[in-house]
A and B are shown apart, each in its own frame.
Chain A
C-alpha cells in the first residue's frame, strides 16, 4: 500500500503548509512564507503520486469511494490554487485554500482506504472522464468561493473605516473580483462538461439520459447558480458584493451536490460515496 504511505506523507506536508500559511498571516511575518509555498508544492506532488499509484494498483480511476473523492478534491483544489497563484500577488488566498484542502484530506484519512473491486456500473471509461471533470469543477468553484469570502472581508474593511484593519492587507477588490470571475467561468465550463458526460454515461449504464436522481438535480441547480452569476456579473453590474454572495451560495450548492445529495438520499443510484 505505497499509495497510502504517500498519502500520509502528503497529509503531513499539507499540515505544515497550512500551519505556515496561517502563521504567516496572523504573525504578519514574511519568514514563514519560505515554508508555506514549497511545502504545498511538495504536498501536491506527493499526493499526485499517491493518486497515480493507486490508479495503477487498482486498475481503475481512483474516484470511486468516499476516501478517494475527498482525497482527489483536496488535490484538485491545491493544484488549481498553485496554477492560479502566479496570476497576481495573492499568497493570502493560500491561507484559506490550505485549511480547506487539509479539512478534506483529514476527512479522507479517517475513511476506509482499502482498494475494493469496482461495482459493475462504475466499470466504464466514463469514470475518469465524468468524475475527473466534476471534481475539477468543484475545485474551481471552491477557489471562486474563497476569493468571494476574501473579497467580502476586504469590502467590510473598506466600508468600515478604522475597523477591520486586518483585512486591509488582502489583495485589492479588483484582483479578487477578477479571480472570482475567472475561476467561476472555468468551473462553469467544466460543470457543463460534467452534466453532459454524466448524461451520456447514464444513457449507457441505465438507458436513460436524465433520470432525475438527486445528485444530478443538485448539479443542475449549481450550474444555474453559476450561469446566473455570469449573467448578472456581465449584464446587470453585479461586480460587487451581490456577485460575491452569489458565489458563496453557489459553493453551498456545490457542497450539496458533492456530499449532501449522497448523504440525504443513500438509496439513490448515484450514491457511490457513502452508499456502499
Chain B
C-alpha cells in the first residue's frame, strides 16, 4: 500500500492551466466518487483519496496498491475530471510518494507552500478537503491519518512558531502600525482625504478594525458625503482640511491630485493645535499627496506605499526565519505518521499469522490430550509448554524478518506472500474504520 500525491501549484503551473483543472466546489462529490469508485475498497483508481482544490493549487492524495499504475491512473483521472487532455498539464504535474507526499501536505497546511508565507487560510482549506473526502466516502484510515497529521502540524506551527505573525498585507500593516502608536483604535478618529475607490477600501478596513469615528474630506463634496454616509462618518468641505487634521489621529490620503496637498507648514500648524498628540499619516496616492518632509516632524508618523511594502517585506523575512522551526515540527509529525503507517502494514499480518497458527496448535493439543489421558498434571504441563515453544520457535524468525521489512517500500509483497501461503484471509472492515 502506497501513498501518492499529484499536484499543480502556483509555484510550478501558470494560472491558465490551473484554472482549467480546478475542481469547483459543486463538482467535488462527483470528482471524489470517481477517484475512489468503490467506496474505498475494491478496484478503482485509488483505495482511498482526497482532493485539495484552491485558487493556488490542485492536489490529489491517493492510496494505491502500486505506484507506477497509480501515477498513470491519476493522470487519466485528472484528464477525465477536467476534460483536458493530459499532455496539457502533464509537464507541470508534480508527483510525490509516501513520506514525501505526507511531508508535502504538512508543508501546505503550515503555509510554507503558500503565495504569502505562513498564511492561515490554507489550514481551513485543508480541513475542508478532509471533511469532503470523509463525507463522500473517499477517505479511509490512511487518508484520515495523513490529513490529521498535516492539520496538527499546521496548528502547531501557528501556535509554537511565529510563521503566522506580523502583517503581510497593506491594510493589515496599516492597522499594525496604528496599534504601535495608539492604545485603542476605538477612541481614535480617522480622516480620509480623497473619496475614490482606494479611500473606500481603506474606510472599510478601518471600520472593520473598530476605529472610533470617520471624517471624509474631498474636492467634490458630493462624493465625500456618499462615502461618509456609507460608513456612518462625517463629510467636511475641502477648506476645513486643517481643522480635520486636528480632530483625526489617523489620516489616509488617496487623492488623484498631481501634486502634494499636505505640506510641512500645514501639518506642523495642525500639530500645534493638537498639542502635539501623535498623528499617523498613510499616503497611498501616486503621485504622493503628502510631502516627505512631513514625516520628520515630531510625533508625526508618515508612511507611503513604498514604506508599507518595506514593512511587509521585513515581516515576510521574519516569517522566513521561522521556516526551520516549522520544518522540524513537520519532521516530528511525519515521523509519527510514518511509524504508524509502516506498522499498520505488517502488524495485522503478524497478528493474523500468530492467531492462525495458534488455532491449529490448540486443535492439535486437544487431540493429543484426549489420547494421553493417563498423564499426570505435571506431564500435561510439559506437553502444553512443548506445543507453545514449538510454535514460538517456528514463528520467531518470520516475525522478526517481517518487522525488518516493514520499513521497505515492498513490505506488502512479504505480507501478501504470507497471507497467500498460510491461507489467511484479510478481515473485513479493516478499510472502513
Contact surface of A with B, Cβ cutoff 8 Å: 28-29, 88, 154, 157-159, 161-163, 165, 168, 170, 172-175, 178, 237-242
Q: Inside 8 A of A165's CB, which chain B residues have their CB?
A: 166, 311, 314-315, 318
Q: Inside 8 A of B303's CB, which chain A residues have their CB?
A: 161
Q: Does B310 contact A (CB under 8 A)?
A: yes
Q: Inside 8 A of A172's CB, which chain B residues have their CB?
A: 179-183
Distance A173 CA – B278 CA, assembled complex (angstroms): 9
Closest chain A residue to B177 by CB distance?
A: A158
Q: Inside 8 A of A173's CB, which chain B residues have their CB?
A: 180-182, 278
| A158 and B183 contact, Cβ closer than 8 Å, known pairs A237-B276, A240-B276 | no
The distance from the CB of A219 to the nearest CB of chain B, in whole angstroms, is 30
B311 & A174 in contact (Cβ 8 Å cutoff): no
| A159 and B180 contact, Cβ closer than 8 Å, known pairs A165-B166, A165-B315, A240-B276 | no
The distance from the CB of B210 to the nearest CB of chain A, in whole angstroms, is 15
Q: Does B339 contact A (CB under 8 A)?
A: no
A162 & B314 in contact (Cβ 8 Å cutoff): yes
A162 & B180 in contact (Cβ 8 Å cutoff): no
Cβ contact of A174, chosen from B162, B183, B272, cutoff 8 A: B183
Distance A239 CA – B277 CA, assembled complex (angstroms): 7
The distance from the CB of B345 to the nearest CB of chain A, in whole angstroms, is 37
Q: List 20 A-B contacts (CB under 8 A).
A: A28-B165, A154-B180, A158-B177, A159-B295, A161-B303, A161-B308, A162-B307, A172-B181, A173-B180, A173-B181, A173-B278, A174-B181, A174-B278, A178-B183, A238-B276, A239-B276, A239-B299, A240-B276, A240-B278, A242-B298
User: Knowing that A28-B165, A239-B277 are A-B contacts, what are 14 other residue pairs whose CB atoms are under 8 Å apart, sorted by A's residue number?
Assistant: A29-B160, A158-B177, A161-B310, A161-B314, A165-B311, A165-B314, A172-B181, A173-B181, A173-B182, A174-B181, A174-B182, A237-B275, A238-B276, A239-B276
Q: Number of A-B pairs whose CB atoms are under 8 Å?
A: 62
Q: Does B291 contact A (CB under 8 A)?
A: no
What 10 A-B pairs come out closest when comparing CB atoms? A237-B276, A162-B310, A161-B307, A162-B314, A240-B299, A174-B183, A240-B298, A161-B311, A165-B314, A161-B310
Closest chain A residue to B179 by CB distance?
A: A172
Residues facing A in B282-341 (CB within 8 A) are: 295, 298-299, 301, 303, 307-308, 310-311, 313-315, 318
A157 & B180 in contact (Cβ 8 Å cutoff): yes
B180 & A28 in contact (Cβ 8 Å cutoff): no
Q: Inside 8 A of B314's CB, which chain A residues have their CB?
A: 161-163, 165
What is the predominant secondary structure among interface residues of chain B facing chain A? helix
Q: Does B176 contact A (CB under 8 A)?
A: yes
A168 & B180 in contact (Cβ 8 Å cutoff): yes
Number of interface residues of B (CB under 8 A): 30
The distance from the CB of B280 to the nearest CB of chain A, in whole angstroms, is 9
Closest chain A residue to B178 by CB distance?
A: A172
Closest chain A residue to B162 by CB distance?
A: A28
Distance A235 CA – B63 CA, assembled complex (angstroms): 74
Q: Inside 8 A of B315's CB, which chain A residues have their CB?
A: 165
Distance A69 CA – B39 CA, assembled complex (angstroms): 79
A168 & B307 in contact (Cβ 8 Å cutoff): no
Distance A145 CA – B179 CA, assembled complex (angstroms): 22
A158 & B277 in contact (Cβ 8 Å cutoff): no
The distance from the CB of A229 to the nearest CB of chain B, in whole angstroms, is 14
Q: Inside 8 A of A237's CB, which chain B residues have their CB?
A: 271-272, 275-276
Most buried by B among A29, A159, A173: A173
Distance A157 CA – B303 CA, assembled complex (angstroms): 13
Most buried by B among A165, A178, A241: A165
The distance from the CB of B53 to the nearest CB of chain A, in whole angstroms, is 34
Distance A239 CA – B180 CA, assembled complex (angstroms): 16
Distance A19 CA – B68 CA, assembled complex (angstroms): 56
B301 & A159 in contact (Cβ 8 Å cutoff): yes
* Binary flags per residue of B240-272, CB closer than 8 Å to A gives 1, else 0: 000000000000000000000000000000011
Distance A29 CA – B165 CA, assembled complex (angstroms): 12
B313 & A162 in contact (Cβ 8 Å cutoff): yes
Q: Inside 8 A of B308's CB, which chain A residues have their CB?
A: 161
Distance A29 CA – B179 CA, assembled complex (angstroms): 21
The distance from the CB of B322 to the nearest CB of chain A, in whole angstroms, is 9
Q: Inside 8 A of B298's CB, which chain A residues have their CB?
A: 240-242
Q: Inside 8 A of B271's CB, which chain A residues have their CB?
A: 237
Most buried by A among B162, B299, B303, B313: B299
Distance A28 CA – B166 CA, assembled complex (angstroms): 12
Most buried by A among B160, B177, B180, B298: B180
Q: Inside 8 A of A28's CB, which chain B residues have their CB?
A: 162, 165
